[in-house]
Structure 1
Amino acid sequence: MEDFGIRALSVVSTVAAHRSFRGAASELNLSASSVSHIVANLEQKIGIRLFLRNTRSVSLTEAGEAFLARIRPALAEINGALEGVHELRDRPAGLVRINASSWGAGRLLPIVLEFMRSYPDVRVDLTCEGRIVDIIAEGYDAGLRLESMVPQDMIAVPLGIPETLILIAAPTYLEARGTPKTPGDLLSHECIRARLPSGVIMDWEMGRAGEYAQPKVSGKLVVGSTELAAKAAANGVGIGYTDAREAAPFLERGDVLQIMEDWTPSLGSEALYYPATRLPSAAFKAFVGFVRAKRVKD
């Protein structure tokens, strides 16, 4: 039988992160049956059921959620201490886990790839989520969100890459329907709404010189991302509210025009953030140093 120790707890935490025995087995380089055996063994020893299992999904029980919330911070500290021995080696090694929004992950990915070329012994798990997570409780080394959304008790390293959501529409649409000038004008237009990864339809938030507006726009088309909203707007379907980088190719070709530019200023920079109180692994220290150096150069 498996010992009641760090390995079993790490397996449980990995299954919870993936919500899958197969996904956990792949990360841990174990067989799915071994992972299932370790979890079942631990459940028997502590006397509670940690997971609800069926043929399609794995989810934590209420007791499992409470158990994981208590052990994850301790596991992170232990793993950080164990990986700290790599400081004695010529090159850092180990796993760096980062939680980011889909936009933030897209900004960070080129830096991650360059970092991995410089540090070939380091593995990176870059997770995209539509919700803000507690990176300590869920076992991440760092998070990536807009600098304004970083918790005050975290260390933030801005990437220096501004995020901007803009309003765009095809010239043919604007010729037929007119060009809105204020948020209120949008209420009479066909607006292409985007659904966030969490499943919630994104609000249209905008501001100008101390004014704030969140018009309750409507339209016949809802899409799964702001990138799709940009493509739909380029096809003359309506007005899209989308990331400026996603809209750039369509703006350059003249497929769309930016409208109400004064109402859509920059949202600020994405920032990598992490707790000041956690002992970082050698791999994560190298990654933070790399991000800081990139920020200074760029």
Structure 2
Amino acid sequence: MPQPNLSHLAVFAAVARHCSFQRAAAEAGMSTSAVSHAIRGLEERLGVSLFNRTTRSVALTEAGQRLLERLQPALRDVGDALEEMNSFRATPAGTLRINTSRIAAHLLLAPLILPFLAAYPEIRLEIVEDDGLVDIVAGGFDAGIRFDEDVPEDMVGVRFGGPQRFAVVGSPGYFTRWPPPRHPPDLARHACIRHRFPSGRIFKWEFRQGSERFELEPAGPATLDMLGLGLRAALDGIGLAFLFEQLAAEAVADGRLVRVLDDWCPSYPGFMLYYPRQRRMPSALRAFIDMVRRPAL
């Protein structure tokens, strides 16, 4: 039986990881048809079906699962060997894949993309925004970015950005109709713009002043995206929004939004860049961590 080539085995592992021919193709820089052709050729050489395919899903067969389990250590060894060669290069190279919450992408990653790629032109940066909690190893990512409390215990974490605060904001027009809240319980009488997590849970507004704490599951006319739509709704006077203060800062500074309950909004530790413990850190990831740690950032 002709031996499968390494590239086809790597494509197989990518399809298995993503349970998607399309996403595997995007990761490998191939067309979806080329990925399908590679998998079909691999199955013909091995004489077994590796995936159960329907129009809606792709799943490993028992044979495919067994092959993946045996292949993964070998593919990691190959990856380590290739990455070791990068240490002989003058500049870091390779692909860096990061999975991040959308708010972290907006606040922290967006300002870094241009300077990072300018400093390291031989690195390809792939960023996937996902507000769910993702297994970055199973997803084939080099690193993730989430709130400190959401980082798995078995990961190595690097502080990314400073402490974060929330801000309660409303438009001047809204406050002509309703008096500004002076204490968190007053929010029960206000129209609040809600945000729902991907899990379906409503985001709770949390306040603290000294030893006093208050938590509110807001009620209001709209449940929207915290990033863009929530800010837009507050600007339009629909209700009060509970946003990262960086998102509202410009509108507060120019008077389009009014901030209330400022002294009830404490700082939180903020975000972490995290990655799995590994025998050899990819040079692209090391370069990114070095940039994250620079004081100016």
- 1:145-171 CA distance string (max 9 Å, x none): 123433333222212333222211112
Which residue number corresponds to residue 79 of structure 1? Answer: 79
**TM-score, normalising length from structure 2?**
0.83
Which residue number corresponds to residue 37 of structure 2? Answer: 37
SS of 1:158's partner is strand
Cα distance change of structure 1 residues 75 and 46 upon mapping to structure 2, 3 Å threshold: farther
Cα distance change of structure 1 residues 50 and 128 upon mapping to structure 2, 3 Å threshold: same
CA RMSD between the two structures? 3.1
- Total equivalences in the alignment: 293
SS of 1:226's partner is coil
Residues 120-135 of structure 1: pairs in structure 2 closer than 5 A = 120-135=121-136
Q: C-alpha distance in 2, partners of 1:25/1:181?
A: 54
Which residue number corresponds to residue 94 of structure 1? Answer: 94
Q: State whether structure 2 residue 25 is matched by structure 1 residue 25.
A: yes
Residue 251 (structure 1) shift = 0.7
Contact 2:196 2:224 (8 Å CA) reproduced: yes
Cα distance change of structure 1 residues 251 and 51 upon mapping to structure 2, 3 Å threshold: farther
Residues 140-219 of structure 1: pairs in structure 2 closer than 5 A = 140-196=141-197, 198=198, 200=200, 202-208=202-208, 209-219=210-220
- The letter for the 2-side match of 1:256 is L
Cα distance change of structure 1 residues 202 and 74 upon mapping to structure 2, 3 Å threshold: farther
SS of 2:162's partner is strand
SS of 1:173's partner is helix
Which residue number corresponds to residue 243 of structure 2? Answer: 242
Contact 1:73 1:136 (8 Å CA) reproduced: no
Contact 2:136 2:144 (8 Å CA) reproduced: yes
Residue 232 (structure 1) shift = 0.9
Residue 31 (structure 1) shift = 3.4
Q: C-alpha distance in 2, partners of 1:284/1:46?
A: 39
> Which stretches in structure 1 are left out of the alignment for 5+ residues?
none
Residue 192 (structure 1) shift = 1.1
Identity %: 32
Contact 2:17 2:138 (8 Å CA) reproduced: no
Contact 2:165 2:267 (8 Å CA) reproduced: yes
Contact 2:164 2:268 (8 Å CA) reproduced: yes
Q: State whether structure 2 residue 225 is matched by structure 1 residue 224.
A: yes
Cα distance change of structure 1 residues 228 and 34 upon mapping to structure 2, 3 Å threshold: same
Cα distance change of structure 1 residues 159 and 30 upon mapping to structure 2, 3 Å threshold: closer
